[in-house]
A and B are shown apart, each in its own frame.
Chain A
Amino acid sequence: MIAKKQKLSSGLTVTSKVFVRSRNGGATKIVREHYLRNDIPCYSKLCHKCHTILKPDSKGELPRFILSESPTRLEKEGSIHYVVVDTNIILHCIDLLENVDCFYDVIIPQTVLEEVKNRSFPIYQRIRSLVKSDEKRFVVFHNEFSESTFIARAKNESSNDYNDRSIRQVAKWYAEHLQESNEDIKVLFITNDKDNLQKAKTEGIVDAYNLTDYIEELPNADVLRDLIPQTSNNESFSSSDANETSYPEYYSNSRVLGGLKNGTLYQGILNISSYNFLEGTVQVGAFKKPLLILGTKNLNRGFNGDAVIVELLPKDKWREPSTTIIEEEVIGADDNADDDGDEEIEFINDKERRLLAQEAIKETTAATSSTDGAHSRLQPTAKVVGVSRRSWRYYVGQIAPTSVSKDHDTGNSAKSCFVILMDKVLPKIRIRTRKAKELLGQRIVVAVDSWPSTSKYPQGHFVRCLGEIESAEAETEALLLEHDVEYRPFSKNVLDCLPKEGDSWVVPQDFETTTKRKDLRDKLVCSIDPPGCVDIDDALHAGILPNGNYEVGVHIADVTHFVKPNTALDSEGASRGTSVYLVDKRIDMLPMLLGTNLCSLKPYVERFAFSVIWELDEDANIVNVQYMKSVIKSREAFSYEKAQNRIDDPKQQDELTQSMRVLLKLSKKLKQKRLDAGALNLASPEVKVHMDSETSDPGEVEIKKLLETNSLVEEFMLFANISVARKIYDSYPQTAMLRRHAPPPATNFEVLNNMLAVRKPSMPTISLESSKSLADSLDRCNDPKDPYFNTLLRIMSTRCMMAAEYFPSGSYGYPEFRHYGLAVDIYTHFTSPIRRYCDVVAHRQLAGAIGYEMLDLSHRDKSKMELIVKNINKRHRNAQFAGRASIEYYVGQVMRNNESEQEGYVIKCFNNGIVVLVPKFGVEGLIKLELLGDVNSAEYDEDKFELKFKDFNNKERVIGVFDKVKVDVKSIKDEVTGKRKAQLILK
C-alpha cells in the first residue's frame, strides 16, 4: 500500500499510515496521517548544517546537540565513531548500554524505540532516562518523521523487515550526512540479528557489526567481554540441550487470558518462603488462604516477587504448609555448572526426594491421628503455568567456590559458574565468565537474562564487581543494590536546579513585599533532634496568649521553595522517594546543599519555613489553627538529652525554657488523649550500633533509649500531620496525599493467639476488635516474673500488623482512611520534607489549599498521584529493609569480637529446628536440630508448639515457643553465601 505524498504550504509533507486491525474476527482499516519534516537535526556537534533548521518548542527552547565532536576511537582503525543500535541490542544488552565504560554517542532510531516500547516497557524507560541524562550522550532520532530517512513500506513486506530496513536507512543517512562535515567519522550499525547484518552489508553499510565484534574493536574490550549477555550469543546453550525439556512449558498467551477470564487460572505475586525455598505462596483474591506451591516443578521457574499465573491442583494434592526448613545450599550444592542435561532428566534429585518423602509420611500419620486438625490447616496447592511479569533486577551475590575449577591450565576462555545470591529465596544463577577465579571471594552484581525450560538454573551475566566480601564498602553497596536504593551521586541536571548562590544563599530581605510569607522571626523557636543531626526538618515554639490559651507553632523546613514541580530535582526526589539511613551512611533524597544547609532549620540564621500554628486550650483542644509560609529564626538547636536537662533544671527560668515546659506539658496531654483513643504502643527489637569515632569500627550495640523530649517532638509532629491531613483533604478530596494503616486481619493473629492459649494459658488472648482493645489486651499480658515477655509479645504482634501505606484520598472511602496504629481518622506525613517525598507533596498541596500558590497539575491528577504513591510506598519499604540489613551486618561485625552467652526467647518452632530472638543484639537466628542434639530422637508436637529431643548429653529436653533459653552467640561467616550471620548455640 503506497500512500500518496502531498506537500503542504507549511513545508510539511503529509502521507498516511495505513494498517489493518482485526478485532473480534472483523478487520478494520485504519488510516492515520503521517507528517514528514525536514527540520529534524542530527544532534551532532560535528555537523555544520543542522544548526540552521532548528525549531523551538513551546517554551521557546531550541533542541540541544548532544553527540560529541570527539567521540571515542576504535582501536584498530583509529577513527572516531558514533553508534546506531538495533532493537535486539537494546532489549538484551541494556546493562551494557548503561555501562560507563562503553557505548557513548549512541543514536537510537525512533523505529527501535517504538519496538522496545512494545516489547518491554521497563527497558524503554531505562533507555529514556539514558537519553534524558545526557551523560552518555544518547539521542533519539525520529527517522520516521524525517523526510530524508522515511521509507514507504513495500508491497508484501513484513513489518519486521520494514522496521529493519528503516533502521538501516538511519545508519546509511547518518554516515552520508556526517561525511559531508567531517571525513574522519564513522557511524557503526550494531545488530545481533544475523539477517539484518547480512542485509546491511549487501546494501553497502560497511560498518555493520554484531555486538561481540564491536566490543572487540574497543580499546577496553578485556573489561567488557564478560558483560556481554548470554542470550546474545546463546547458540551454544540452545543447541546442546534442545531435546531435553525439564520444566513444563508455560501456557500460551491466549490460553492464559482465556483461563483468567473463565476463572480456571489465577494471577498473583509469588512469595517464596524464607525458611523453605521449595515452597511458595500466591495470594489470590478468590481465596481466603494463600495458594501453596510446592516443589521446583510446580514453582516452574518462578522468582520471588514475580507476577505469576497459577492453576489449582486436584484436592488430593492439597497440603499443609511445611514445618521443615529447607535451604538450597544444602541440596543443590553439588550441581555442576557446566553440565546441564543428563542428571536433570529426573529433575528431583535424591536429597530432595528424601525430604519430600519425609513430608509425605508426616502427612499420612497426621491424617490418621487427628483428621479434623489436619484438615483445618490444609491449604489448596497450585502450580505455576505462566509468568506475566518478571521481577528481575540486578542481584548481588558471589561465585560459588565449588563451581569453579581449581586447575591452573584454564586459559582465557569463558567458563560457566554459579552465582549464589544474597537473597536466600532466589535460586543460583549460571553465568559465563573468563574471570571466575579473580572474582572468587568478591561481591558481584549479576543480571538475569533468561530461564529456558531446558535449564535447571536461570542464566545471567556478570555486571560488575563491588569489592571483597565483608569489606564495609562492598557490603553497604550490596545491600543498597539489593534493596533497589538509588545511591549514585546526583547528576548535573539535578544540581543545576539548586540556587546559584550555593552555600551563601540567605533569606532575601525584601520577602515581605515580594512574597506572601509571614514574618515569624520574633517567635522563640527552637529545634530538638537526635545529637549530631544536620538535617533539621522541624522546629517548635510555644507561648501563652492574653486569653489564657496557648499558642503552639510547628515550623517545618520549606523544601518546596527550592524543589519546584516539574524540574529535574523534583523528579529525582520523587524517584528516590525517601532518604535511606544506614549505620554508617546516609543516602539523601535531596542534594546535601538543601538537606543540611538551605532547608535545614539551623539555629541563629533566618530560614524559610512552613508553619502550622494552633491556639490550644488548657486541655490541648484546638481552638483555632492557621497554616502559613513564614520566615523564622531558630534560637537554639537542642539534642534530646540537652533539652531534657534544661527542662528539668529548676534554675533555668528564661523564656525559651519556659516555653519548652509548656510544650512538654501539652505534649503529655496530647499523648494521653491519643492513648485513650487506642493508639498502639508496639515494639520492635531495635538496636543502635555505636561507631568508634576514629577507626569507624563498630563498637558496641545498644538498645534505643527514649526520653520525654523524644515524645514531645513526636506528639507535635503527629498533631501537625493530622491537622494538615484534614486541611488538604478538605481542599483536594480526590488527590490529597494521605497515609493509612489498615486494621490487621484476624487470621494474622490466629497463630499468635493459639500459641498464647497453649503456652501461656494464664494470659488473656489478644483482642482485635479495635486498636483500643488490642492496646488494652497487650497491656494486660504481663508476666510478673519476666518483664521482657510483654515486649516480646509486642514485637510478635508488630509482625502480625499490616504495613501503613500512602494513598491519594480518592482511592478509598473516608472510613478507610483510618490510621489503626495511631488511632486517628486521617493522617499524612508533613513534617520531614527533607527526607520524605510524601511530605513534599503534602507541602505543595497545603500551599495550594491556603492559596499561597497554584498546585501543580501532577498533584491534582488522580492517576499521576497513584503513580507517585506507588513509588514512594515501595521506596519507603525498601529503605526500611536496607536500614535493618545494615544494622544486621554491623551487629554481625560487633559479635565477631565479643562472643558471649545471652538470654534468648524461642519465637518459632519447626520439626527440625527452632528460631530464637536475642533481645540484647536484636538478632534472631535459626538453630537447626543437628546443633541441638540427636536428630532421630526429635519429636515435634504441632499442637503444643513444642520440640522434644535428646541433647548431646543424652538428656531429654522440651523446648516450646515463648521459652526463655540461654544461648551462645557468635558470629560465623556462611561460606556459601558469604554472609556473616549470628550463630546461636543452645546451652
Chain B
Amino acid sequence: MELYSPEGLRIDGRRWNELRKFECRINTHPNSSDGSSFIEQGNTKVICMVQGPMEPVLRSQSNPNQANIEISITIANFSTTERKKRLKNEKRLVELKATLERTFEQSVMCKLYPRTVIQVNIHVLAQDGGLLAGITNAITLGLIDAGIAMYDYVSSISAGLYDTTPLLDLNTLEENDMSTLTIGVIGKSEKLALLLLEDKMPLDRLESVLAIGIAGGHRIRDLMDEEVRRHGNLRLSKVNV
C-alpha cells in the first residue's frame, strides 16, 4: 500500500498537513455527570464523563494542597476491527492513564480544589489511530463542561514521519507503519503539555514533525473552542428567557 504517493496524497486521500474530520459535542450526558463530551477524530470515537471536584471516598486519597485527578479508561471490545477482550489493568492502559493524569494535573488549576478528587471516565467506542490524542481532547472538553478551572485548552494531535515528509493526524494504517509522535499543545501557544513518542524518530526531522503537530493542535483548539462557545451561547439564551 502506498502510504504517501509521489503526487502528495495519503492513503485516505488527504494531503500531508490535513486533519481528519473532527467533530465534538459537549454536555452530552448532563444528567449522569458534571461534565461530559464526545469527540470523533476520523473514525476514532471517545466519550468522556467528569465527576467532581468532590470529596474522595477514602480519606487517604485526599491531598490537603490540591485536587487529585483520577482517570479510568474503558476500551470497548468492538472498538477495533478484530474483536478483542481487554483487561482493565493492561500495561498499555495503565501507562496511558499515568500519562494523562500527569498532563492534566499541570493544566488544571488543582490548587483551587484542595482535598477533592476529580474523577474522569473515558469510554473508547472506536479506534482508528490517534487514540491518545482523541482521549486528551475529550478530557479537555469534559473538564471545561464541568466548569473546572484550567489554564488553557490542551489540544492534542498525532503526527508521523514518512521518509522525509511529516504527516499530520495519522489513521491506523499509517500509525502501524511509521513512528508516531503525539503532542498536546496548550492553547494557542507553542508550549506542550504532552509529548509521547514510542519508537524512534531521527532528531533532525523531529522539528518539522513538531511544527505541523503544533499547527494541527491550534486548529483542533479552534474547533473545540467553537463548540464550547456554541454550547455557551445556547445556555446563555436559556438563562435570559
Contact = CB atoms under 8 A, between A and B. Distances in A.
Interface stretch (B9-17, B24-32, B86-94): B9-17
Interface stretch (B62-70, B139-147, B164-172, B181-189): B164-172
B165 A58 contact: yes
A295 B171 CA distance: 53
A58 B16 contact: yes
B163 A857 contact: yes
Contact of B165 (A57, A63, A128): A57
B42 A57 contact: no
Given A30-B81, A33-B43, A857-B202, A566 B19 contact: no
Interface string A125-168: 00010011000000010101100000000000000000000000
A33 B42 contact: yes
B82 interface: yes
A674 interface: no
Given A32-B12, A33-B128, A142-B7, A857 B165 contact: no
B7 A10 contact: no
Contacts of B21: 6, 8, 14, 33
Contacts of B42: 33
Contacts of A367: none
A57 B13 contact: no
A127 to B, nearest CB: 11
Contacts of B18: 10, 12, 35
A145 B7 CA distance: 12
Contacts of A28: 81-82
A128 to B, nearest CB: 7
A385 B205 CA distance: 49
A36 B203 CA distance: 34
**Chain B, interface residues (CB within 8 Å), range:** 20 to 34
Q: Is the interface of B mostly helix, strand, loop or mixed?
A: loop
Contact of B205 (A14, A30, A55, A857): A857
Interface in B206-223: 208, 212
Contacts of A40: 7, 9
A128 B81 contact: no
A33 B20 contact: yes
Nearest to A141: B7
Interface string A4-44: 00101010101000000000000011111111110010000
Nearest to B166: A58
B163 to A, nearest CB: 7
A40 B12 CA distance: 14
A37 B203 CA distance: 33
B13 A37 contact: yes
A131 B6 contact: yes
Nearest to A124: B2
A860 interface: yes
A104 B7 CA distance: 19
A408 to B, nearest CB: 53
A260 to B, nearest CB: 25
A29 B166 CA distance: 30
Nearest to B202: A857
B47 to A, nearest CB: 19
Interface in A414-453: none
B164 A35 contact: no
A255 B181 CA distance: 43
B40 to A, nearest CB: 11
Contacts of B14: 12, 35
A142 B81 CA distance: 27
Interface of A: 6, 8, 10, 12, 14, 28-37, 40, 55, 57-58, 63, 117, 128, 131-132, 140, 142, 144-145, 566, 854, 857, 860
Interface of B: 2, 5-9, 12-21, 42-43, 81-82, 128, 163-166, 171, 173, 202-205, 208, 212
23 contacts: A10-B19, A14-B20, A31-B43, A32-B12, A33-B21, A36-B13, A37-B13, A40-B7, A55-B8, A57-B15, A58-B17, A58-B166, A58-B208, A58-B212, A63-B8, A117-B2, A128-B6, A140-B5, A142-B5, A142-B13, A566-B164, A854-B202, A857-B202
Given A33-B21, A142-B5, 20 more contacts: A6-B21, A10-B18, A12-B18, A14-B21, A29-B81, A30-B81, A32-B171, A33-B42, A34-B12, A34-B13, A40-B9, A57-B165, A58-B208, A63-B8, A132-B6, A140-B6, A142-B7, A145-B13, A566-B164, A854-B202
